[in-house]
Amino acid sequence: MAGDHGVVAYGVSAYPQEVTPQMVYNFLRGGAGINVLARQTGARVVIVDMGIAAPLESHPQLISRKVAPGTNNLATGPAMTREQAIQSIQTGIEIVESELAKGLDIVGTGDMGIGNTTPSSAICAAITGQPVAKITGRGTGINDQQHAHKIKVIEQGLAVNQPDSKDALDVLTKVGGFEIGGLAGVILGAAHYRIPVVIDGFISGAAALIACGLSSRARDYIIASHMSVEPGHKAMLKHLRLKPLLDLNLRLGEGTGATLGIFMAECAVRVLAEMATFAEAGVSEASPHLD
């Protein structure tokens, strides 16, 4: 799910907002990291425009569900209206429902949106209570000065908006993003239909915080694929009481970590279903050759 963020105007990213649609076109062409790993894993890539700031050319693989052309600047006021937050979540649920007819046994979450580590950090700080400076990373690779500025922008956004940590919808409304709300809906939709959902990194972690804030039962269906290099991701997973399958210093996003997690989940299921027990294989459990 892809969306843009008004806070990018405050210089929180190393890349311009124009990169968001450029990357989405790359997804549609099949040339991005997520496309490569999805082909290897056997997953289909579903691409949704939740709120990209630019108009996109129509494409048979692009689902256009634009809530608005980017969020408002969270540093100066709410990122979106409460109605838009609800719409983004409902869209995520509807996307899961639309995929059910095609056969759906496991879901992975992925994102695209220049600047979206900023709202994700704000969501993390608001819900976990951790200091902004502790959980804010460098995103696309900003320098020390930009990192310090990013922290101040997030702190300003939290001070201006005062999101209610006990109200996940309020947090999403005040400091979130349309693609984050959409992914929260995907998680809730998958959980409703009892389908495991493998979350990617930091942005998917923010979506999981929102989803579990709305329904604590959603956590039972979440598998954390990996530990992101973003420092706030550890705080997110601790808050959610989730243990990541992998720790490979991944930072690409796009759902690439989720595809690796799907592969690991499939391996686990196959071992459980297909591997012979000692009794079935005629192996003595007391064999001195086995440790």
Please indicate, yes or no, if residue 284 is contained in any of the structural domains.
Answer: no
Domain that holds residue 257: 2-271
In-domain check, residue 130: yes
Kindly state whether residue 261 falls inside one of the protein's structural domains: yes
Looking at the domain assignment, is residue 236 inside a domain?
A: yes
pLDDT at 287 over 80: no
In a domain, 106, yes or no: yes
Question: Would residue 277 count as lying in a domain?
Answer: no
Instruction: Determine, yes or no, domain membership for 282.
Output: no
**Active-site residue, selected from the candidate residues 254, 266, 274, 285:** 254
| 20 in any annotated domain | yes
pLDDT digits (tens, 9 = 90+) for 234-278: 999 999 999 999 999 998 889 999 999 999 999 999 999 999 988
pLDDT digits (tens, 9 = 90+) for 29-65: 999 999 999 999 999 999 999 999 999 999 999 999 9
Whether residue 11 is predicted with pLDDT greater than 80 in this model: the reply is yes
Write out pLDDT tens, residues 67-95.
Answer: 999 999 999 999 999 999 999 999 999 99
Tokens of 221: 């269906």
Determine the 3-state secondary structure of 19 from DSSP: helix
Q: Look at residue 284 in the predicted model and tell me its pLDDT.
A: 79
Into how many domains does the chain fold?
Answer: 1
**CATH number of the domain enclosing 75:** 3.40.50.10210
The reply to whether 230 belongs to the active site is no
- DSSP lists the bridge partners of residue 47 as 62
**What is the reported pLDDT for 288?**
55
